[in-house]
Amino acid sequence: MISTVKQSAFTINGCDFIRSKSQSLTFSHRFSLLPPLPAAMKSRRSSGVSFTKPIYVSSVENFGGLKKERSNDNLVKVKAYEADRIDPIEGPDSKTEVARRLKIGVYFATWWFLNVIFNIYNKKVLNAFPFPWLTSTLSLAAGSLIMLMSWTLRIAETPKTDLEFWKTLLPVAVAHTIGHVAATVSMSKVAVSFTHIIKSGEPAFSVLVSRFLLGETFPTAVYLSLIPIIGGCGLSALTELNFNWIGFAGAMISNVAFVFRNIFSKRGMKGKSVSGMNYYACLSMLSLLLLTPFAIAVEGPQMWALGFEKAVSQIGPQIVWWMAAQSVFYHLYNQVSYMSLDEISPLTFSIGNTMKRISVIVSSIIIFRTPVQPINALGAAIAILGTFLYSQAKQ
């Protein structure tokens, strides 16, 4: 709210607000809740605070439990800042906000960096060792091991869970497992940049599933934002030089699976007091249990042994480092992303996810020297722009 007070700082006694029930609170045109300006204050008119600009009241403290007697304990402390200032005049609150924004910035930078590193090592592994089911399993196993060690050594707080928690987590884990494997299969068949361009179409699936299966409605702007998303993804797919149907289908299945993962997560985790880091750790462990038997059935130890022997003969022992790096970085980037959800709104997270995808697409094209036609790059840009517009429209 705005007050046209012409002082830089002031204190209002609670007794000025409270009257006995027999008294009526009346105001005249000249009534003021502020005490007269002391002489000491008049001598400070040359300070950096303006006496002619309106003042915004930013917070009111100690407004409860006031007594009628005047004392220092029942003062109402009001913090204010001038209309043309961004932050309050007093320093502590503004310093806290700066620290919070800096923390969020560190989360975002770390999230993007770890994601880029993961995608680079993941693609290197899949090029030399094309077994996406095992690669996906190793990613979840590494994350589970890291968190178990963290809980054992008390580096991280052990989550308090019960049977009901794991029941609600099960459908989330099923969707997460499908989405994770499908995305890895996609990247084993096509360029990293193409997979992420197709995965930028996830908002379109989110709206369609929410509208036709859950009966949710959205503003017109949200539906309009789907046009560039679908059009951009379609243009990129049609002009992709190394198009592969398995790679394309994997990215699309991953989109659908992650949409359901988000829906199940929102519905099932309401009221649960588990931090973002521990929530993802539990999700990884349950997904690992679900995925391992399918990985053995689809690929199997015999194929893994032959593939690993071939990879070592072509790449050398460093293939082991690549596999370890992609597994660890997969967990770390997801862990940081879930930790950031504790600090920011879903909208900010959505925008950050869009920017992350841009960084992955650009870096993978440069590192792997992926040939890109101008029309293909245009399709990617249109799709990513549509994703950004979608996040703004949902606000």
Q: Strands 10-13, 2-3: parallel, antiparallel or unpaired by DSSP?
A: unpaired
Which residue(s) pair with 13 in the sheet? 75
Is residue 370 within 8 A of residue 364, CB to CB? The reply is: yes
pLDDT of residue 70: 46
Is residue 276 within 8 A of residue 334, CB to CB? The reply is: no
pLDDT of residue 78: 53
pLDDT of residue 71: 46
Is residue 278 within 8 A of residue 210, CB to CB? The reply is: no
Is residue 109 within 8 A of residue 353, CB to CB? The reply is: no
Contacts for 241 with CB less than 8 Å, ≥ 6 apart: 371, 372, 373, 376
Would you put residue 108 in left (φ > 0), alpha (ψ -120 to 50) or beta?
alpha
Strands (E) in 183-322, as ranges, are: none
User: Residue 333 is which amino acid?
Assistant: Y
Structure confidence by residue, pLDDT tens digits, 155-213: 989 998 889 899 999 999 999 999 999 999 999 999 999 999 999 888 888 888 888 88
Is residue 48 within 8 A of residue 89, CB to CB? The reply is: no
Burial of residue 393, with CB atoms counted within 10 A of its CB: 0-12 exposed, 13-18 middle, 19 or more buried: middle
CA pair distance 243, 234, nearest whole angstrom: 12
CA pair distance 48, 55, nearest whole angstrom: 14
CA pair distance 46, 72, nearest whole angstrom: 29
pLDDT of residue 347: 62
Burial of residue 54, with CB atoms counted within 10 A of its CB: 0-12 exposed, 13-18 middle, 19 or more buried: middle
b/e map of 185-202 (b: 16 or more CB within 10 Å)? bbbbbbbbbbbbbbbbbb
CA pair distance 37, 22, nearest whole angstrom: 31
Q: Give how far Cα 64 sits from Cα of 13, 77, 378, Å.
A: 12, 12, 59
User: Residue 259 is which amino acid?
Assistant: V
CA pair distance 210, 389, nearest whole angstrom: 18
CA pair distance 107, 169, nearest whole angstrom: 25
Contacts for 351 with CB less than 8 Å, ≥ 6 apart: 388, 391
Residue 105 is inside which H or E element, if any? helix 91-128
Per-residue pLDDT of the chain (395 residues; tens, 9 = 90+): 444 444 444 444 444 444 444 444 444 444 444 445 444 444 444 444 444 555 545 445 444 444 444 444 455 555 544 445 444 444 556 678 788 888 888 888 898 899 999 999 999 999 999 999 999 999 999 999 999 999 999 998 999 888 989 999 999 999 999 999 999 999 999 999 999 999 988 888 888 888 888 888 889 998 999 999 999 999 998 888 889 999 999 999 999 999 898 888 877 666 567 888 898 999 999 999 999 999 999 999 999 999 999 999 999 999 999 999 999 999 999 888 877 776 776 667 777 787 888 889 999 999 998 888 899 899 999 998 998 898 888 76
The residue with tokens 């924004």 is 101
